[in-house]
Structure 1
Amino acid sequence: MNQKNDISALVDCLIAADSYLGDHRDALTRRIAHIQAMRKRITEGRVDLLDLASGHEHFGLHRTANGWSFREWAPHATAVYLVGDFSEWREDPAYALTRLETGGGQWEIRLPPERLHHGDLFRLRIHWPGGVGDRIPAYARRVVQDPQTLIFNAQVWAPSSPYRWRHAEFTRPDRPPLIYEVHVGMAQEAETIGTWGEFTERVLPRIVLAGYTTIQLMAVQEHPYYGSFGYHVSSFFAASSRFGTPEDLMALIDVAHGQGIAVIMDLVHSHSVSNTVEGLGQFDGTEYQYFHEGSRGHHHAWDSRCFDYGKPEVVHFLLSNCRYWLDAFHVDGFRFDGITSMLYTHHGLERAFTGYGDYFNDAVDEDALAYLALANEVIHRLRPDAITVAEDISGMPGLALPVAAGGVGFDYRFAMGVPDYWIRLTKDIPDEHWPMGHLWHELTNRRQEEKTISYTESHDQALVGDKTLIFRMADAALYGHMSRDDPDLGVDRAMALHKMIRLITLATAGNGYLNFMGNEFGHPEWIDFPREGNQWSCRYARRQWSLVDDPGLKYHLLARFDQRMIALCRQADLLSAPDLSLLWDHDGDKVLAFLRGGWIFVFNFHPQHSFTDYGIPAPDIAYRMVLDTDARPFGGHGRLAPDQVHHTLPDPSNPWGTRLSLYLPSRTGIVLAPRACGQGQGNRI
């Protein structure tokens, strides 16, 4: 089959999966051809893509058998020097780089071993027509900030013995991910910046106990402003030194692997910090080396720079960045941040994305789309077990389809409409008016051919200026009524809905589930990083684990419920079961019931009404109640007998021919397992 026919076959597959794409055949054909053309262009048809993605082994500082080598790409530069401790920060001819005759603007220097030492601080001093400036190397693997002057410098990092991996052969388990999203800096309780080591010792065991299978690390790549949450990256190849050494991060990942937990990281390729010395802005004196020229190169909403994904050198840089984290740190995949901003020249700002025309027009950056496809190809060829997750609010079709099937290659996409819907319900709609049919639609509205990860709230909903679900529902009562012996109607409502919302979101999730650290137990207050406006305080950039550790507080009970919920999900392999089907929804009663993997989930969201002998259509087998959100061990009222067995009754009025007759307390969710699966473990931890 020739290339033209091959592309046509891929487009046919896409349209077969989604007939609405039929009107955009020409655009789909062009995009797939563009991916193939970019691959050929950057590899020149003679270099394997994985080899091309090894630029981090060519550029930057490396210790060699004969000393040191350093290379940098700076096409507009007229002279480049290494300056640092070793040169008294002066331009020493002994540290001048030579421009290579071939290489499109590459500079190189080779030094004997005694010229540089582990721990030396350094920068590049780059000259260009009409100017000169200090720059941290683009491929710097270690960047540190002076605590007094707050100045950033690259650092020679060549410890005498490299980190020795104990679990180098770890393979991510082939199962739907249960993701625990974390920020290491704010993972400790003390009002300070936490470290990789503290996280490994104190927080990782909590994640293991909670039952999550995957850690998603935020803020790994170096960023000059701590309060950016790690999303204004300056040094793409450097693990943030504010949390410790590279070896400390390696140890964190290694220990997690030893516990059977995969580790993925946020990868920020959607934009770059605007800084010039610390970042890539005007690196060689031009604004267009890595970024688009003019207004297109500036993300005005984020105050950052936008990569030019049509430039082979930029694609090479970013592909190498993908491979570097897999090679050097053994991460098990990536959450690609800000995909929407990459995909559209308008960055998705103030766009509703209400129709397919929004995905096929001149505003789509097809270079960015092609880069993402090549990035996924590199990642999955290098690590077939690795996962990639797209954070996209637009709903662009094909993101989570394999490149070989005409897609962009992500394994999963976030169901970002779900947390937004929970905010609308809890913020704007009284409990008694929650629409069950619309709720079901929002929870299950996804592209069936693409895998999705659902969540009730991530770090986004916890940031200052917003509110977590528990804070939105309980508000100030969290400060004074969270003792187990302190009844409060507001807290009671918040806890009941907190459990129900999490359970129904997990049970209806497409192929994965995410939780931000601490939200599982209703962590109070918001996240506010040190900044001038709060006198550089870490008071709200931490996690108060003592709250969940205190058995006398209701936080402890919420955490106990989450642990049981996750355990049941794993026991049933729930997220691998595709047969999600609605059994019953009644808007007036606020009752919703559905079947998945043979398990039945029933929710009564009504704020006041409990129902006796409530009929739910169901297959004709016996069921055991294995989870009850109203159970006393989870802070409920204990209105249901634990471990009760339910038998179906004849009912010719529904397609199953049988029904369950249930007592449904108000604001309660229950899980019924086929009796052989129940094992009499309902509500137990």
Structure 2
Amino acid sequence: MIDRLAQSARQDEALLISTAVVDALVSATLADPFSVLGPHSVRDGLVVRTYQPGALGVTAIARDNGETLAELEPVQAPGLFVGRLPETRPYRLRVRWAGGDHETEDPYSFGPLLGEMDLYLFAEGNHRDLGHCLGAQPMTIEGVEGVRFAVWAPNARRVSVVGHFNSWDGRRHPMRLRYPAGVWELFIPRLGPGEPYQYEILGPNGLLPLKADPVALATEAPPGTSSVVAQPLDFAWNDQAWMQQRASRQAANSPMSIYELHAGSWRRESGEVYNWRELAERLIPYVIDMGFSHIELLPIMEHPFGGSWGYQPLSMFAPSGRYGTPQDFAAFIDACHVAGIGVILDWVPAHFPTDEHGLARFDGTALYEYEHPFEGFHQDWDTYIYNLGRTEVHGFMIASALHWLRQFHIDGLRVDAVASMLYRDYSRKEGEWIPNRYGGRENLEAIEFLRHLNDVVALETPGALVIAEESTAWPGVTQATEEGGLGFSYKWNMGWMHDTLKYMAEDPVHRSYHHDKMTFGLIYAFSERFILPISHDEVVHGKRSLLDKMPGDRWQKFANLRAYLSFMWTQPGKKLLFMGCEFGQWREWNHDTELDWYLLNYGEHQGVQRLLRDLNRLYNQEPALYERDCEPGGFQWLIGDDRANSVYAWLRWSSTGHPLLVVANFTPVVRHGYRVGVPLAGHWMEVLNSDAECYAGSNVGNAGGVLTDIIESHGESVSLSLNLPPLGVLILRPTPVGG
């Protein structure tokens, strides 16, 4: 029958196409399907072609009233249907399948979709709203509801959208290529949110594994690898008060105490992870009770391998499907803000995993990554390195950052692995890296990207933070870009963390030989705006938990931990502590199970938690502990050289000249009558003692306070005679006598 109809059709050559084109269409190698499919004007009307492999028949009907316009004839190849419409008129296709009829508008009847400005800005690397440009966008075009798909794959020979809606058949919905941007696009009518999809890409050297959408706004939960058409985020935010106050609450002269957590392993219900709304109900009251100002989430962008903790993400615009929908995530952020809690996200612009459904050789070429492995592959992490020198990749990552900050009201991004971005020879042997154009080791493209990122964030989302996890002595990380710096808001003080943890791991009898590890950080403490981090990285991979790092017997381990936390909370710099450290978890963190909350049945663990709660309360109440974090005048050593006794004493000063005294004894020996010079005569109240009985300590102290003696000491005209608790820290404030 097909031969008969084809013979009849040859009488109207306008209905036929060349054999080569037919072969390309059938073999899914046709680069420009719009040149053949859809409506095409001819001398005396309109020819419509559609390719529906497996269909029994196709009828063109009027879009407005369903009137039959033409029966399309099968010609030249199975599944290829063609017919002539008597007039140019919007139409639908009624496709007859073995399982029944299906009606839809013809995807190939719609003209170019993306605007020229969109394409220009994308190619230039300056499109700041790619989340609403590329990817899958539900929309109405010419009165027809559907989804517009757009994906960058400039070296592909053909790209198709595939999903359940077309039986994952790449022949059914090949896309239009927009020159010269290299973006493929297609509007598929009658699709809507919730539809899984991927891209089938014919690369220069053949068909690639199905690819997830780089700009997907939602994804299947792993182990599924499909992207999902997202419901537009039409969320009714209630956080206006927070957003108005945010800039001041995150400023360098404000208290910031950050609780770092992994969303899937903080708490679980019978082994099952909470979704975002359930997590909000349980986490927010806890964070408020503990006195933290912020939470910081390990990366929640979709990632294929849970064991990467999110640090090998593939979907840089999509919250992980493990915890719910994007709307659920927005509700979580909103609830945090309404409760007065800021939210920081870990964000990874340095590298991405090699999973074949991801960005790796996305169109059959090194598109998002560098081509040469000396530039484009991380040997340590088995990941690819973003080629941030390519304008489209540069702009893709800028748009990702802005997506979280603008769409989800995120208060800050902590940029992971900045050191690996700054240096071309990072963790590489001689001869295994490629110098920059000047012969140096600096990655000029990444440096330009980081500066641009920080400038754009400051302009587009005022008050939002960008925080660097940067472990080297790179100068000016938090210095303004116009002054030659990188422009970050804060930098993690990795040197302080390594030095102080190494000191604390020493047996107290040996600490006198490592005394300077607790003082060295003050040499550079005011060179940047710092956050003091005790992060997840310090309690995994055989490093032991924070409590278990401490030396000594059980009592000494807890005393050391309490002393260390007290030391940390009274040093210059904002604070970050990983979940579980606040109550002294014994084992290392395991992302597959919840924290060991049962430990809070024991007094020592309750004591650590109560201390941390009180430290946060004191930190928020005492401007001396935060107002001048970045000023040398906010800190004053009184005793930094008593290595024989492993004692330290210092003052923190507020902007109004009010001091707070901190004295730390890092030996298990009680020091009676230890003299410390102070700047003000009178009564000094003991506002916190890490050895107090309520913290499960030995309760050595000073009966709530001490009067000064007119005895010169440490350059001051008056001094205090103190009882220093074993492995303990005292915090004292001057008050009027009897006050």
TM-score by length of structure 1 reads 0.82
Asked if the contact 2:504/2:560 (under 8 Å) is kept, the reply is no
Q: 1:130 aligns with which of 205, 208, 211?
A: 205
Q: 1:218 aligns with which of 292, 298, 310?
A: 298
* d(CA) in 2 for partners of 1:151, 1:337: 26
Q: How does 1:597-612 map onto structure 2 within 5 Å?
A: 597=653, 598-608=659-669, 610-612=670-672
The verdict on how the C-alpha distance between 1:242 and 1:169 changes in structure 2, with shifts beyond 3 A counting, is same
* d(CA) in 1 for partners of 2:439, 2:627: 36
The alpha carbon displacement at 1:379 in A equals: 1.1
Q: Are positions 1:564 and 2:637 aligned together?
A: no
- Structure with larger Rg: 2
* d(CA) in 2 for partners of 1:592, 1:606: 11
Q: 2:704 aligns with which of 629, 640, 643?
A: 643
* d(CA) in 1 for partners of 2:370, 2:560: 46
- Tell me the residue number matched to 1:96: 174
The verdict on how the C-alpha distance between 1:82 and 1:48 changes in structure 2, with shifts beyond 3 A counting, is closer
Provide the secondary structure at the position in 2 that maps to 1:224. coil
The verdict on how the C-alpha distance between 1:47 and 1:225 changes in structure 2, with shifts beyond 3 A counting, is closer
- Tell me the residue number matched to 1:293: 372
The alpha carbon displacement at 1:163 in A equals: 2.4
* d(CA) in 2 for partners of 1:417, 1:49: 38
Asked if the contact 2:500/2:517 (under 8 Å) is kept, the reply is no
The alpha carbon displacement at 1:620 in A equals: 2.2
- Tell me the residue number matched to 1:458: 535
Stretch of structure 1 that moved more, 256-265 or 194-203: 194-203
- Tell me the residue number matched to 1:343: 422
The alpha carbon displacement at 1:440 in A equals: 3.6
The verdict on how the C-alpha distance between 1:519 and 1:364 changes in structure 2, with shifts beyond 3 A counting, is same
- Tell me the residue number matched to 2:499: 421
* d(CA) in 1 for partners of 2:288, 2:557: 26
Bigger proportion of residues as strand: 2
Identical counterparts, % of pairs = 27
Bigger proportion of residues as helix: 1
Aligned AA (2:366): E
* d(CA) in 1 for partners of 2:576, 2:491: 12
- Tell me the residue number matched to 1:387: 465
Asked if the contact 1:210/1:562 (under 8 Å) is kept, the reply is yes
The alpha carbon displacement at 1:124 in A equals: 0.5
Provide the secondary structure at the position in 2 that maps to 1:65. strand
* d(CA) in 1 for partners of 2:532, 2:667: 24
* d(CA) in 2 for partners of 1:453, 1:628: 24
- Tell me the residue number matched to 1:656: 716
The alpha carbon displacement at 1:669 in A equals: 0.9
Asked if the contact 1:60/1:137 (under 8 Å) is kept, the reply is yes
The alpha carbon displacement at 1:205 in A equals: 1.2
* Structure 2 unmatched runs, 5+: 1-116, 431-437, 654-658
The verdict on how the C-alpha distance between 1:653 and 1:591 changes in structure 2, with shifts beyond 3 A counting, is closer
Q: How does 1:371-450 map onto structure 2 within 5 Å?
A: 371-435=449-513, 437-446=515-524, 448-450=526-528
The verdict on how the C-alpha distance between 1:621 and 1:51 changes in structure 2, with shifts beyond 3 A counting, is farther
Q: Are positions 1:241 and 2:303 aligned together?
A: no
Per-residue displacement from partner, 1:606-628 (whole Å, max 9, x unpaired)? 222x2222211111233211000
The verdict on how the C-alpha distance between 1:350 and 1:164 changes in structure 2, with shifts beyond 3 A counting, is farther
* d(CA) in 1 for partners of 2:639, 2:514: 10
- Tell me the residue number matched to 1:82: 161
Q: 1:151 aligns with which of 218, 224, 227?
A: 224
The verdict on how the C-alpha distance between 1:528 and 1:450 changes in structure 2, with shifts beyond 3 A counting, is same
The alpha carbon displacement at 1:361 in A equals: 7.1
The alpha carbon displacement at 1:659 in A equals: 1.3
Asked if the contact 2:336/2:343 (under 8 Å) is kept, the reply is yes
Q: 1:596 aligns with which of 652, 675, 681?
A: 652
Q: Are positions 1:507 and 2:556 aligned together?
A: no
* d(CA) in 2 for partners of 1:314, 1:231: 19
Per-residue displacement from partner, 1:529-587 (whole Å, max 9, x unpaired)? 4xxxxxxxx3xx32122323x3x432111100000011111101212223211001311
Aligned AA (1:237): F
* d(CA) in 2 for partners of 1:619, 1:289: 59
The verdict on how the C-alpha distance between 1:460 and 1:592 changes in structure 2, with shifts beyond 3 A counting, is same
Q: 1:54 aligns with which of 129, 148, 172?
A: 129
* d(CA) in 1 for partners of 2:675, 2:415: 45
* Structure 1 unmatched runs, 5+: 1-41, 352-359, 475-488, 530-537, 681-685
Task: Provide the aligned length of Structure 1 versus Structure 2.
Answer: 592
The alpha carbon displacement at 1:117 in A equals: 2.3
Per-residue displacement from partner, 1:162-220 (whole Å, max 9, x unpaired)? 32212145322242421110110011144343432332111221111111101111121
Q: How does 1:609-620 map onto structure 2 within 5 Å?
A: 610-620=670-680
Q: Are positions 1:520 and 2:582 aligned together?
A: yes
Aligned AA (2:644): G
- Tell me the residue number matched to 1:584: 639
* d(CA) in 1 for partners of 2:174, 2:561: 61
The alpha carbon displacement at 1:299 in A equals: 0.5
The alpha carbon displacement at 1:437 in A equals: 4.4
The alpha carbon displacement at 1:492 in A equals: 0.9
- Tell me the residue number matched to 2:334: 254
The alpha carbon displacement at 1:43 in A equals: 12
Q: Are positions 1:179 and 2:258 aligned together?
A: yes
- Tell me the residue number matched to 2:410: 331
TM-score by length of structure 2 reads 0.76
The alpha carbon displacement at 1:672 in A equals: 0.5
The verdict on how the C-alpha distance between 1:403 and 1:679 changes in structure 2, with shifts beyond 3 A counting, is farther
The verdict on how the C-alpha distance between 1:350 and 1:517 changes in structure 2, with shifts beyond 3 A counting, is farther
Provide the secondary structure at the position in 2 that maps to 1:80. strand
* d(CA) in 2 for partners of 1:380, 1:617: 44
Asked if the contact 1:464/1:527 (under 8 Å) is kept, the reply is no
